[in-house]
Structures are given as C-alpha cells and as structure tokens.
Amino acid sequence: MLEIKDLHAVIGGKEILRGVNLSVKPGEVHAIMGPNGSGKSTLSAVLAGHPAYSVTGGTVTFNGKNLLELSPEERSREGLFLSFQYPVEIPGVSMVNFMRTAVNEHRKYKNLPQLSAAEFLKLMRDKKNIVELDSKLANRSVNEGFSGGEKKRNEIFQMAMLEPSLSILDETDSGLDIDALRIVANGVNKLKRPDSATILITHYQRLLDYIVPDVVHILYKGRIVKTAGKELALTLEEKGYDWIKQEVGE
Amino acid sequence: MVQDAYISLYKEQSELIDSYSSDLLNTNRAAACESLSKLGLSIYAQEYERDFGLNINRYKINVDPYLSFKCDVPNIGAYIYFVLNDTFYPNSQQAKLPEGVIVCGISEAISKYSDLVKPYINRQMTINTDGNQAFNAMFAQDGLFVYIPKGLKMDKPLQLINLMHGNSDILAVSHNLIILEDDSSAQLLICDHASGDSHYLTNRVTEVFVGKNAIYEHYKLENTHEKMTNICSLLLDQADNSQVLSNIITLHNNKTRNTVVANINGSHSSLSLNGLVLGDKDQNIDNTTTINHIGPDSSSAELFKYVLDGQAKGKFYGMVKVYPNAQKTSAIQTNRNMCISNKANMQTKPQLEIYADDVKCNHGATVGQLDENALFYLRSRGISEQESRMLLMYAFVHDVLENIRLDALKDRLKLLIEKRLRGELSKCNGCVICK
C-alpha cells in the first residue's frame, strides 16, 4: 500500500529526513517511535504534502501512485489521512460546513453523487458516536475553543467521516488523559478495516497498550534504525533511547 | 484646480440651482462655495475632472425604477424608495406607512414640513472644514427624508436604493435626512447600484438624528461597477440612551470613500460601527471614521475588515475621541485586514484621543495573509486549494456579518460574498435596466 524508498526531505535548508525506508501493507499497524527531533513529525508532514517541506530525494508510492506528485487534497482523496499533532483552530468555519465540503469533494473524486443535507447530518451523527464527540462541538467553528482532548477526538471523528485507507496518527496520544486516550484508541480500533492500514507516531509505549502494532520502527536522525515486533516498544519504555544511540555508534 | 470649474458653474447657475430646490438647502450654498474655494477637493480629486453632467434642471429620466429595477436583497419586505441618480422618486405602489411616519424627497419635505426639517438639517454639516461636504452643500438639491415620530417602532425596514443610470457620465449629489424622535426605532438599508456603461461620481451626505431611547440600524451595501466613484458621508447624532448599529459593506466599486462622523452627545448610549470590504482589481476603498464621545457612560465598538486581492488599495482611518466630560466611556476599535495578493495594499491608522481619565479604551489593527497552516489543514482533508482559500476568507469576514440583524440581508450577503470571493460578479438579480 505504502512504499517509501530512501526519502530525503529538508525544511529551511536543514535536512531532517536522511533516507527513510518503510513498507506498509493493508491491514497492518505500524508504530514509529523515536526521540525528540528525530524527524517523526516531518515524516508525517511530508507524506501529507505540507508545502513547507521539500523532498530532495527518494520515492513514495501509495496504492500504486507516485504520492509526491499529488497535492495535499489529492492525497486525501486517494485515501491518506493525517491526524495532526496540533490541530489548527479555524474561527468562522463551522465543523458542519468543513466536513460537508470535505466529504463531498471526496465523493466527487469517486464519481459519487453529493450527499443531501439530511444524509450528511445522519452520517455526522453516526460517526460522532464513534469518538463520543459532543453534538455541540459539531456546531462550533473548527477546533475553536476545543480542549486538547476534544481536538484529538475531533481528528479521529474526521478520520471516521473520510474513511481513509491509510491513517497517520501524529502524536495523537500527546496531551490526553487516560480516559480520552481510551476513547481515541477505541475509535481508531473501531475504524480499522482489513483493507486499511495505520501508522502511529508516538513517544510513548502507553498508546500501544490500546492500539497494538504489528511492527515497531525507531526513527533516529532522519533514518529508521531499527525495526522489530511490538516488544521493541516495551524495551524502549524500559531502557529509553540511549542504547539505540550506542547501537548506531554514538 | 479641479474645484474651480465647479465653483464657476455654481456661480453661473446659482439662481437656477436654487429655483429647483428648497430654501433650507439653498441657504448654505454661497457659504459652501466660499469654503470650497479655500479647502479644495482632496479625496479622489482627479475623479472630478471628467466631463460630468450635473442635473441642475432636475430633468427626470423616463424610467420608473420601481418597475424596472429589482433589488439585490429580496424577501426583506421593506418600504422601498429610489433616488435615481440625484432625484427622489416617490413610490406610487407603496404600502401605507405607519401613522405619523413621513418618507419623501428632502426638497418636498422642506416645503411641506419645514418646522420638522428646520431644527435638524445641516446641523451636523461641517462645510468649513470638509471639502466634500462643502461640495455637497453647494449642489445638493434633493435626497431622502425620513421622519419617525415619538415612540413609534417601525414594523418593517426602510430601503433606499441609490441607483445610477444614464447614457452619459453623471455626477450626482444628494442629501438625506433621517430623524428618529425619542423612543422610536427604525432600520434603514441603503443600496448603491450602478447600471449602464457610463462613468459615475456621487457625493452623498446622510444626516441621522437619533433621539432619546431610540434605536437605529443603518446598513449600507455598495455593489456598483468599475466606473463608479462613490463619496459618502454618514453623520450620526445620538441622544441619551440611544442605540445605533451601522454596517457599511463594499462589495464592488471603483473608488469609494465612506466618511462616518458619529457624535455620541447623550449619556448611556451605544454605537456599534462595522464595515466590510472585498476589493480586487484596481478598486480603492477608504473608510474614514470619527467617533466623538461627548456624553458620559456611553460605549462604542468598531470593527472593520478588509479582504484585498489584485492591486486593490484599502484605507482605514479610525479616530475615537473621548471628550473631557465623557467619563466612564468604553470604546473598542478593531481593524483587521487580509492582503491576498502581493500587490494589494492596505493602510491603517487607528487613533485614540482621550481627554477624560475614567475610561476604558483599546484599539488594534492587523494586516496579514491567509493562515498557511489553516490552509494546509483544510487541504489535507481533501478540500481543493481554491475552495480552502474561499472558506478561510469567508471565515475571516464572518464576524462582521454576524452583527447584521436583518436576517434576509444577512442571508443575501452571505451568498453575494461567497460569489464575490469565488471571483464571480455578484450582479443584481432580475435587473431590467442592466439587461
């Protein structure tokens, strides 16, 4: 589904990704862990097409297409979803208007008819329940005045609405208390399909108690330096990142 | 100088100008002429150089605007009146106004209701310091007159459509007078439109007197064309416990100058003064506002927002002046602007002058671009870049629209603004004259 080969990317003249290789197949859950500044968020931003980053080398194939040639909106319509570490507040754009526009753009791309107002509202109601999102939030402006937990739930709600084939969750667990974490994780688990895949980007093992990964990668200084099963996360939790640094010869 | 031609025109034609108007408008003309020769024309002065026709002889165009022009804001259910170029056209089909309410041409009002008009007309004009107002006083022969008697609350809004129409270049000058007696309430929507392919220049003054405990809402919607220069002055006088809401919206024009002078003379009064500008191409939009807090315990809130694209130029000069007796004044002034293109230009000058010591005032102004992070967030959900920009621009102006209390106008504006932001011309629906 996703094939990343020797990916290099820079921001502001500084190389952050220095040859990332990653292969994700349908049905898999991958966790990408790593210390601060290792390039985790850069990787997710580059995959989603953030214009501030430029790719200087390598290839990314997503469902057979050259992902790097697509605009951010085309990547979304092709089935890629990024749950933001810091969801953006957009005063004046209502959640309803935002999601209706997004869902209908996806439908247009798939040659499906636009949803009627009634169909759309029903879809919203159904999906809101998955993350226990307050109905009142849906009538507010996008993320405006939402608490940290509400913002993260709102990300998963959007994921539920758009039904992506590949979801990248960037530090979705940061800033969440244990109840919110459980709600968000349950939401992600409920949305899992045999043909969809998930990449979890996280600092901590905690999230992985709820969303169990098939593969754990360690990203360090812009490269994936170690790949193993879910037990790798436990080792990291116990020993920290220092032994990785030693392993790569520092 | 550009004003000289107009001054000699006035001197040659003053008898004729007077004969086609009424005495209370005529008394000031000579003084205005004198003043203009000293002050000159400073705002869009070069626009006056065109060879405009000035309708001194009050020829009426053989068009009934009530039959041939359909308003931009349907379903508003207003009492509708037209000033076609510079002339008030009575509405023969008009539903009966509430008892005691008078709506007619200002010239007619001066002859018929001189006692009502006399205490008010020209009272807020500052022809000795303002060249535009001097020009207006020199030539204005007609306009709208509205009188709302004591205690009367209007059941429906009033609507004035200033329609420019002609086969040649026209200069139109008009003077409106709106009087709300104590305890009354009224809403007035003024729409500026232009039809045909001619160049137009207008110089319009609207004097409004809001009595004690009276509530007045003023909406001005400009949706004209790229050959129209519109110079408008709104002069507001507020008595004790009065409330005024004003919204000035410029969607489409060539050059516009809105001057607002609000004199909050009374105590415990409130003023909400709002404006919205969507400019592109070579549009020029200038809102210059002065709020004078003269009486104590009053409040004012000012919010102006501009979205500028193309080579559009915007100006916002806002002065809030708190007089020595205006203790316990609360004033807030906000001007936020977005320059969408590299060539768009915005100048803002927020100013506070405070001469009282127990007041709460603040002001703020910003000029920025679209938030790139918000743009990426929307696009990352599959919304095209163009649509995302539209959503963000719409969101930016959203809070100005929320101040509008006429629902039909608000709905219509949302639609017009959306069309405008998509780059479509928001032309009036069903306008027979345009077709």
Q: Cβ separation of B395 and A88 shorter than 8 Å?
A: no
Query: For residue B65, what pLDDT is reported?
Result: 84
Q: Could you give the 3-state DSSP secondary structure of residue B272?
A: strand
Q: Is the ipTM of this complex over 0.90?
A: yes
Whether the pLDDT of residue B432 is over 60: the answer is: no
Task: Give this prediction's pTM.
Answer: 0.86
Question: A9 or A204: which carries more pLDDT confidence?
Answer: A9
Lowest mean pLDDT among A121-135, B95-109, B219-233, B352-366: A121-135
d(CA A91, CA A145): 9
Question: B65 or B131: which carries more pLDDT confidence?
Answer: B131
The beta-carbon neighbor of A72 closest among B373, B379, B394 is: B379
Which of B380, B386, B399, B421 to mutate to probe the A interface, most A CBs <10 Å?
A: B380
Q: What are phi and psi for residue A134, nearest 5 degrees?
A: -60, 135
B contacts of A144 (beta carbons < 8 Å): none
Lowest mean pLDDT among A151-155, B295-299, B324-328: A151-155
Whether the pLDDT of residue A52 is over 70: the answer is: yes
pLDDT range class, residue A250, cuts 50, 70, 90: low
A contacts of B400 (beta carbons < 8 Å): none
Query: For residue B425, what pLDDT is reported?
Result: 57
Q: Output the six-digit token pair for B385.
A: 């870049």
Q: What is the mean pLDDT of chain B?
A: 92
- Closest-CA distance, A69 to chain B, in angstroms, reads 15
Task: Report the chain A residue with the minimal C-alpha distance to residue B374.
Answer: A88
Which of B338, B366, B379 to mutate to probe the A interface, most A CBs <10 Å?
A: B379
The beta-carbon neighbor of B387 closest among A49, A87, A101 is: A101
Burial class (CB in 10 A: 0-12, 13-18, 19+), B264: buried
pLDDT tens-digit profile of A66-98?
Answer: 999 999 999 999 999 999 999 999 988 999 999
Which residues neighbour B84 within 8 Å (Cβ) at sequence distance 6 or greater?
A: B61, B63, B65, B163, B165
Whether the pLDDT of residue A109 is over 60: the answer is: yes
- Closest-CA distance, B350 to chain A, in angstroms, reads 24
pLDDT range class, residue A238, cuts 50, 70, 90: confident
CA distances to A92, B145, B254, B274, B317 from B222, in Å: 23, 20, 11, 14, 19
Measured in residues, chain A has a length of 250
Which residues neighbour B245 within 8 Å (Cβ) at sequence distance 6 or greater?
A: B216, B217, B218, B271, B272, B274, B403, B405
pLDDT range class, residue B429, cuts 50, 70, 90: very low
DSSP, residue by residue, chain A: -EEEEEEEEEETTEEEEEEEEEEE-TT-EEEEE--TTSSHHHHHHHHHT-TT-EEEEEEEEETTEEGGGS-HHHHHHTTEEEE-SSPPPEEEEEHHHHHHHHHHHHHHHTTPPPPPHHHHHHHHHHHHHHTT--HHHHTSEETTT--HHHHHHHHHHHHHHH--SEEEEESTTTT--HHHHHHHHHHHHHH--TT-EEEEE-S-SHHHHHS--SEEEEEETTEEEEEE-THHHHHHHHH-SHHHHHHTT-
Taking the mean position of all CA atoms in its chain, how far away is CA B101? 23
Chain A interface includes B368 (CB < 8 A) = no
| Burial annotation A222-244 (CB, 10 A radius, 16+ → b, else e) | bbbbbeeeeebbebbeeeebeeb
Binding-site residues on chain A for chain B (CB distance < 8 A): 48-52, 71-73, 75-77, 82, 84, 87-88, 90-93, 97-98, 101-102, 105-106, 109, 141-142, 158, 162
Rg of chain B taking only CA atoms, in angstroms: 21
pLDDT tens-digit profile of A116-168?
Answer: 999 999 999 999 888 888 777 777 899 999 988 889 999 999 999 999 999 99
Whether the pLDDT of residue B93 is over 90: the answer is: no
Query: For residue B1, what pLDDT is reported?
Result: 75
- Closest-CA distance, A169 to chain B, in angstroms, reads 13
**A211-222 mean pLDDT:** 92
Query: For residue B72, what pLDDT is reported?
Result: 60
Task: Report the chain B residue with the minimal C-alpha distance to residue A49.
Answer: B380
Q: What is the mean pLDDT of chain A?
A: 91
**B5-33 mean pLDDT:** 92
- Closest-CA distance, A177 to chain B, in angstroms, reads 25
d(CA A233, CA B148): 77
